[in-house]
């Protein structure tokens, strides 16, 4: 971390963790903490907590934790300096790139360069659409589709002209290096001879903004029956299609207001709904939805409505996405539009209220899957058995057992099959496909030999720094059994406890994420009352020391009796152990 220490503290002091996390998670206050749905694991009930007093977060479900910087790193998948810069930008603090280490500086410059290139190209395509006589057909096309001037302006829609070298020439004019031009994905290398050509030609252009309102990439759509109908930017250092949702930058506040979000497939579906005042909408950019998409959306809306066309492609796309939502434990409804409609055509034809009315009757996942399956297999006895076979693969994905049994009941009733028989089928499936359950609620790997008392000392140092001098004098840390906790404790002792951002300053001292998580978990819960905290610290310290000494004595006795029994292997083992403990004490 080559950003100067003072800068890091300045940004940390200016940041408020509740404010930072609220950008991507819906938080509600409960007692001293705020709670929300964890963006790092699938859950239905909030176990993700944020403590404004200590400026830390901790998830009781997956044990993710840390300070504002660690949150930004984990959420956006960025490095520490990037997280500091991101927070600095939010709080209007200037950090010069010169302050960074060479490798980080380079990484930054690449990303910033790409955003700049995208910004330039977006401006070019947008102006071209508005002003050029060569864009007349594009303007007519958009008008025919009912896209308003305001929408074209707000979403900076553009037009990429026909011809192979418009952007190639633009890059030349702006003296953009070939390397950077290629990396942007906006031009490609020619196969036969030297030089480059434009990726987007004769297409309506949709700039894709990230959550910070930066242009991350582009989508292009043909205006006729040409193929491919849609073309998107390739993955670049600033564009990850598995995490991007079209329109989220504009829709996020409306998603929070409404408490739910419509997920549509195409750009025009999004723009049309948005234009008709249904602004709590995002588009999936034609790619399959990922669990990252769902977790990002969870930060803005608790409920989601997947909107699909009633054609076969729409239905199978819905079935694919459903698995992801079930795994993530999201409250999801499926809205299948009447035959021959997509969201765009429907809202244009019938208006906003009709769409909302239709959506309010959207099916639950199980109702939807059941209908699709029954339409395929019919309601004969054989048909119903096949439906049951179909359904169990979905039931198994639901981790919430209460929810699962509700669905089992619903299924049994609809199929007129005994509930126990349904449960039996699900169990069979589970036994045959143990991996299908996706039990990603990882057991909290106990990678530290956790002595409760050592953990308590750490928690005490963090929550009651006034005990630190005592802990120092008694040198209790050297008696710690867990190497990891000993390491953490030593780091804590290296930070000035008078500092008013003590805990979060300790956090920035940690050199890995796991250590931060462990610290956050000890810091978030304070099991000691203010009352006689010194007395409690003292008795804790004494107990740790006493137990270690006793342990050593027991070991010596064991060696003596092993020597009597001539068990050389055991003697070796015990002596090694004794040596370890001695070193522990005399370091
Ligand atoms: Zn979690």
CA 395 / ligand 1 centre spacing (Å): 23
CA 49 / ligand 1 centre spacing (Å): 9
For residue 277, being part of any structural domain is answered with: yes
Do residue 308 and residue 376 come from a single domain? no
For residue 243, being part of any structural domain is answered with: no
DSSP string for residues in 529-581: -STTHHHHHHHHHHHHHHHHHHHHHHHHHHHHHHHHTT-HHHHHHHHHHHHHH
> In which element (H, E) is residue 208 found?
strand 203-209
CA 269 / ligand 1 centre spacing (Å): 33
CA 90 / ligand 1 centre spacing (Å): 25
Do residue 13 and residue 58 come from a single domain? yes
For residue 94, being part of any structural domain is answered with: yes
For residue 346, being part of any structural domain is answered with: yes
Number of independent structural domains in the chain: 5
CA 488 / ligand 1 centre spacing (Å): 22
For residue 342, being part of any structural domain is answered with: yes
CATH classification of the domain holding 213: 3.90.980.10
For residue 394, being part of any structural domain is answered with: yes
Do residue 557 and residue 477 come from a single domain? yes
Residue that is last in its domain, among 402, 437, 472: 437
For residue 532, being part of any structural domain is answered with: yes
Nearest-angstrom CA–CA distance, 291 and 179: 33
Residue that is last in its domain, among 437, 466, 489: 437
Full pLDDT tens readout for the chain, 587 residues: 468 888 888 999 999 999 999 999 999 999 989 999 999 988 888 999 999 999 999 999 888 999 999 999 989 888 888 899 999 999 999 888 777 778 778 888 899 999 999 999 999 999 999 999 999 999 999 999 999 999 999 999 999 999 999 999 999 999 999 999 999 999 999 988 889 999 999 999 999 999 888 999 999 999 988 888 889 999 999 998 888 999 999 999 999 999 999 999 889 999 999 999 999 999 998 777 888 899 899 999 989 999 988 777 778 888 888 888 888 888 899 999 998 999 999 999 999 999 999 999 898 888 899 988 999 899 898 999 899 888 888 888 877 777 788 888 888 988 888 888 888 887 777 777 655 444 433 333 333 334 678 888 888 898 888 899 999 888 888 888 777 888 889 989 888 887 777 888 888 888 778 888 888 888 887 777 777 888 888 888 888 888 877 777 777 777 777 766 666 777 777 777 777 666 655 54
Between the alpha carbon of residue 224 and those of residues 137, 164, 230, 345, 536, the distances in Å are 11, 19, 11, 17, 77
CA 321 / ligand 1 centre spacing (Å): 22
Do residue 332 and residue 228 come from a single domain? no
CA 36 / ligand 1 centre spacing (Å): 10
Do residue 57 and residue 173 come from a single domain? no
Do residue 428 and residue 469 come from a single domain? no
For residue 241, being part of any structural domain is answered with: no
| pLDDT for res 572 | 76
Q: Which domain holds residue 512?
A: 452-586
CATH classification of the domain holding 61: 3.90.580.10
CA 56 / ligand 1 centre spacing (Å): 14
Do residue 456 and residue 582 come from a single domain? yes
Residue that is last in its domain, among 317, 339, 361: 361
Do residue 137 and residue 95 come from a single domain? no
Do residue 299 and residue 384 come from a single domain? no
CA 111 / ligand 1 centre spacing (Å): 29
CA 34 / ligand 1 centre spacing (Å): 14
Which residues 6+ apart lie within 8 Å of 75 measured at CB? 24, 39, 40
CATH classification of the domain holding 269: 3.40.1360.10
CA 441 / ligand 1 centre spacing (Å): 9
């Amino acid at each position: 971390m080559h950003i100067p220490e003072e800068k890091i503290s300045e940004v940390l002091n200016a940041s408020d963790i509740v404010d930072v996390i609220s950008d991507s998670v819906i938080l509600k206050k409960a007692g001293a903490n705020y709670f929300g749905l964890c963006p790092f694991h699938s859950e239905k009930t909030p176990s993700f907590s944020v403590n404004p007093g200590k400026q830390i977060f901790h998830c009781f479900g997956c044990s993710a934790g840390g300070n504002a910087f660690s949150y930004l790193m984990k959420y956006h998948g960025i490095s520490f300096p990037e997280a500091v810069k991101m927070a600095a930008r939010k709080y209007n603090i200037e950090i010069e790139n010169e302050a960074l280490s060479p490798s980080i500086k380079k990484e930054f410059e690449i990303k910033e360069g790409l955003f700049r290139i995208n910004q330039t190209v977006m401006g070019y395509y947008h102006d071209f659409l508005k002003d050029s006589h060569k864009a007349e057909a594009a303007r007519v096309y958009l008008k025919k589709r009912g896209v308003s001037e305001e929408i074209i302006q707000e979403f900076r829609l553009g037009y990429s002209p026909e011809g192979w070298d418009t952007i190639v020439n633009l890059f030349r004019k702006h003296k953009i290096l070939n390397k950077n031009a290629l990396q942007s994905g906006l031009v490609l290398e020619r196969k036969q001879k030297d030089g480059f050509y434009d990726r987007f030609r004769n297409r309506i252009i949709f700039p894709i903004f990230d959550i910070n309102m930066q242009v991350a990439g582009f989508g292009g759509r043909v205006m006729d029956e040409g193929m491919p109908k849609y073309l998107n930017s390739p993955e670049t250092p600033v564009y990850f299609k598995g995490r991007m949702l079209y329109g989220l930058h504009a829709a996020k506040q409306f998603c929070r207001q409404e408490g739910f979000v419509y997920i549509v497939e195409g750009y025009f579906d999004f723009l049309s709904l948005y234009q008709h005042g249904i602004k709590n909408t995002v588009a999936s950019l034609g790619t399959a939805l990922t669990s990252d998409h769902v977790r990002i959306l969870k930060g803005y809306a608790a409920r989601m409505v997947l909107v699909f066309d009633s054609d076969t492609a729409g239905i199978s796309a819905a079935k694919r996405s459903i698995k992801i939502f079930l795994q993530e434990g999201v409250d999801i409804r499926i809205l299948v539009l009447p035959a021959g409609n997509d969201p765009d055509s429907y809202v244009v034809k019938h208006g906003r209220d009709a769409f909302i009315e239709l959506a309010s009757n959207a099916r639950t996942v199980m109702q939807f899957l059941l209908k699709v399956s029954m339409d395929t297999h019919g309601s004969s006895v054989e048909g119903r058995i096949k439906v049951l076979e179909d359904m169990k693969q979905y039931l198994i994905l639901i981790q919430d057992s209460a929810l699962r049994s509700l669905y089992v009941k619903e299924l049994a009733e609809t199929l007129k099959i005994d509930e126990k028989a349904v449960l039996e089928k699900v169990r069979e499936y589970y036994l045959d496909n143990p991996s299908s359950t996706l039990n990603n609620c990882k057991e909290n790997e106990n990678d530290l030999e956790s002595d409760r008392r050592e953990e308590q000392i750490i928690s005490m140092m963090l929550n009651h720094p006034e005990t630190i001098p005592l802990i120092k004098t008694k040198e209790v840390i050297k008696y710690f059994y867990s190497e990891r906790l000993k390491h953490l404790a030593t780091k804590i002792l290296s930070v000035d406890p008078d500092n008013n951002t003590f805990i979060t300053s300790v956090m920035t001292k940690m050199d890995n994420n796991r250590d931060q998580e462990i610290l956050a978990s000890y810091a978030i819960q304070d099991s000691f009352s203010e009352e006689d905290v010194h007395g409690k610290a003292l008795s804790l310290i004494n107990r740790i020391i006493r137990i270690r000494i006793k342990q050593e004595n027991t070991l010596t006795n064991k060696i003596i009796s092993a020597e009597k029994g001539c068990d050389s292997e055991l003697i070796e083992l015990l002596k090694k152990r004794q040596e370890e403990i001695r070193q522990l004490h005399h370091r």
